[in-house]
Structure 1
Amino acid sequence: MIHYAPQARQRISDEAIERFHNECAMIQSDVKHRYLLIHCLFIFLIINLTSTQICQNDIPDFFYNVSFAGPLFDQSIYTITTSNFSVLSPIGTNVFTFNVQPQTNYTRPSFISTSVTGRALNITPGIITVTSNDPSFIVTSLSNGSYALVTNTFPLNYFSPYNRYLFNLIATQTYPNRPLVSSTAIVQINLENYNVHAPIFIPSNQIFSISETAIIGTRFGTVYASDADNDGIIYSISSSQFSIDSLTGVLQLQQTFQSSPASQYFVSVTASDDGTSCLPARSPCPRFSTTTIITINVTAVNKRSPQFLNQICGSTISFYESNIIGANITTLTVFDDDRGENGQISISFPSEQSRTTVSGLRNTAYSQFYMQQLTQTSTTRTAVLRTNTSFDYDAPGAARVWYLFVLATDNGTPQRQSFCSLRINLLDLNDNPPVFIMTSWNYTIYRSAFGNSNNARFLRIIASDADSGLNGMINYYIGTINVPYFTINQTTGTIILRNNIPGVFSLDVNQFPITFQVYAQDRGSPPRVSEANATVTIYYNNGNDPPPARWSDPRYEELNFPIIEKYYERYSDRPIFNDTYGFNGTIIYQLTSQTSSIMTVSSPFPNTYIPFSDAPVSKNGNIFSSGIVVTRCSYKAHQIYNKFQMHDESVIKIDEIFIVELILNCYNDFIFLLDRLA
């Protein structure tokens, strides 16, 4: 075994080291010379063996210039039990204190001081910092190497894994000319739970919807809240309209909605914990509650049809013929309390395509009226029925009654509608005065024809009034003062003897002819008087001469009874008759002459057509028989659902000597046909 002198060993060692560094540098610069690495290691081993313990302590410094040993904790594991620490600890609470010291010559492993010149290690103590790798805790420095672990959050999380915090403390020592060194210690903090959190709603502002037609008990949503303490949650609500399940948070309808509910409800819901997080270790345990406002939208449903108010449907509305175009006939008010578009109302007549009658005929009544809608106010809308034309009650063929349908429709989905029927009556005004069919009347009284009766009826004066009803009914008056012998029947216009005259034989022929004026006045309000009076002249034949012609029955002079419109269809070959009146249809008259006779039926008014004519005359001596037949009594020009009465005044002339009025009332017997809506 070879032993070198100290100087030789020092020289060999220095040369070997220098050579070793040079060769290692070559390795770093040229990777192709990897084989030199083996040679370097071999030389290093020789040097180490030949220099015994000289370089043993310099191996770390030789490669890294660092010591692997960090600062020293007073404990490697720190444990805190539940009896010591609570999650309720505020921020800055001291968990525990500990000590950390730097490495020294005596604590560094395998330390042997070197005597090699210039190779002594730098073991000057550096700066030490201690940190926690859990942000819930921080380390504060005290003095003389003491430190404190304090809380950095509140509250602590009891629901960390295994109800504890497990983390590291890291101590780092730095040197001015060496890399830093560090060491760690384990910390385990076992927690004691406590109720520190209030429930939290998720989400904080919840929105729900429910139909306004929902029934009691309808569920429409769930309120959810959580509690970081894992406590049980109890729900409550501040509303009589809605309820909530205290355990599940399920919302349901408690009361049915009113007819017009609000579109939104803002309701307070409270979530309260039960405090079980700190039981049974701590009692009593605090309770926490959180309140939020939830929004409940009530979805509108078109559940009601528009409703006509004031019981107007099916009623009869009347107006006078004097109303001008655009006159207000009546107003219709419609109600619909549905919300939104469901309650928006439109009032109108049916569509053009729907204006047909059951018989398929077109109803033209709507063209004479129109509907003016007013602006809707809240839940009601009003429309005004107005005239679209002028009216004349007395015009030939004029309609006097209309049946109209009015349609009220909302704008909802599905759309709802209601119908209303109205009967519209046209009222007659007394706008026509009576008019005499002739202004000059002449009549001869034959004493032989009347005997000595006081009940004799002579000439009948006839006037006409184009108005209807009372407005068209006429009273007759003698306008001349102190007329001898005669008066007039105010209702029929027949000239008769005064009550104080015993009979025809008492008349003084020397006072004839007697002439006087007759005027006519209707029964309207106010009454109207004929504008032109009738002049009547009465002659008297006091001999035994018979009259040239006379009726066999005086009632013929005042025939007045109705016949139906379809009389012609039923009795086309029979003269008009009336069993109630006692008239069999035959008119009999007598002539003094044996010559032929013709009875004609005509209207006393010019340019007036009447649907009547005379029957062929039959003769038996000087007794003649005839009658009045119906040629036509149809008024198709009228609305087929209008009922009307027409007075046709016909004059029967016998040899142009006697003038007698025959009044026939012709009634329309058609059935009323109302519109149908297609």
Structure 2
Amino acid sequence: GKLYVSERLDREEMCGEAASCSVSFEALLHNPLNVFHVEVAIQDVNDNAPRFLQDIFQLEINELTSPGARFALGVAEDADVGSNSLQGYELEANGYFVVEVKERQDGSKLAELVLRRALDRETEPMLRLVLTALDGGDPPRSGTAQLCINVTDANDNAPVFAQERYRASLREDAPPGSVVLNVSASDDAPSGTVVALLNVNDPDSGENGQVRCELSGEAPLSLVASSSGGSYKVVTSSALDREQASEHRVTVVARDRGSPSLSSSATLALEVSDVNDNAPVFEEAAYSAYVEENNAVGAAVVRVAARDADAGANGRVSYALAGGSAGAAAYVSVEARSGAVYAQRSFDYEQCRELAVTVRAQDGGAPARSSTATVRVFVLDRNDNAPRVLWPAPAAGADAASSSGPSEVAPRSAEAGYLVAKVVAVDADAGQNAWLSYELAKATEPALFRVGLHSGEVRTARAVSDRDAAKQRLVVLVKDHGRPALSATATLHVVLAESLREALPELGDRDAASELTSDRNLILVVAIAVVSLLFVFTVVLVLFFKC
């Protein structure tokens, strides 16, 4: 018989991103009556084009960015699989950027924009490029997105005056408040710098046409008359500081020598342009951050902030790591614009409890100015380590609660308080997470033994009696004080006997006897083994026939 498709198959809808896709069902045949299992493999065809998650990528890149810098653009999606899936990216031909493919651990392909040639905002302030994602189908399909790259300005051009000298003519009858001219100077201009040249004319003759000028108002400016007369130089009388005053306004008063004297005035506005004479200043000289161990990768640790009194690019601050304690750079990173410090990996208190990094704040001036601050990161302990029992150590391949383990011999004549053994445990955590307490969890005779809450000492709670079983099994619970608390158990076997010879039948064999850790008992066992192996064999035979 022939099998027909009743409706259009869509592999992506049926199986998603799975590498293989199939449909299974049972086919019933009537003559002869039989049932067949049918599995139909659904093969992928290249019916989906790669698609970017956004149509336009907006990027801002400073014109001083060094060639080789990389900018992640994201991953295009392609619902197809295998060779029909996304294979790579292409970038519209240009003189500055290329696109490279970076494959992640999950197999996805990330597009990275790589700067090949230095940018110049004054030449090309904006770049628009087309990014294409290609799959491997035959024929191939593609998807596009537009890159809009805004080249931001940097202080790479020194200020230049439009002309060497500024001249202005002022009529003697000019109304008060008239603006003669606007001039500008940088805030590193030394005293005596010429910022403007004034030329004053009076059409009268004689003394009526002789004019003198003076400045009215508080400003670091003064007038210097030319030797030929009729013109004045406006010069700085002291150093300028834009951070204290970005503009100075004075009134120039021109007065003739007539009688009565006539005068006019005009306003002179001096704009002070910025130079990079201030370094960034951190709000704090040192920062402290506290992070619990086992944190998520990329978690925010702390945010540093610096202020720069300059303006424009000279006051734009960026941040970067500039050293620190050994290996600290592998644990944290700093976001260049915001100053946010992020964790690069999950901290482990037991491996690293404190680290320090130096963060540099640098402005965009040329040459740039910078300052540094120290960030100390303190890792806080979490209760992520259970107590570890050092003694009695469980036998290899056995857990703490198993029947195997070391044995101790306690005399039947022991009174209350007799020291039978001591459980020793440690915890890798710190503080209360490492404070250990001990308690008796199980025992053959619960009333016979007690365990020191903090010492771990196992002692008799009462005198041993003849009714007590010769073999005693104790399970000691060791618990820390973390929240939630973690615990471990230790199993201890105690044989009640006055001598080792009496204890041997209860121990069962020579190997069990050799596990006695008491120095006295160990010496006795070794002595017996050395004196006569035959004697041990005879004892075993005697025990066998008694049983």
Give the TM-score normalised by the residue count of structure 1.
0.37
Give the TM-score normalised by the residue count of structure 2.
0.44
> Which has the larger share of strand?
2
Larger radius of gyration: 1
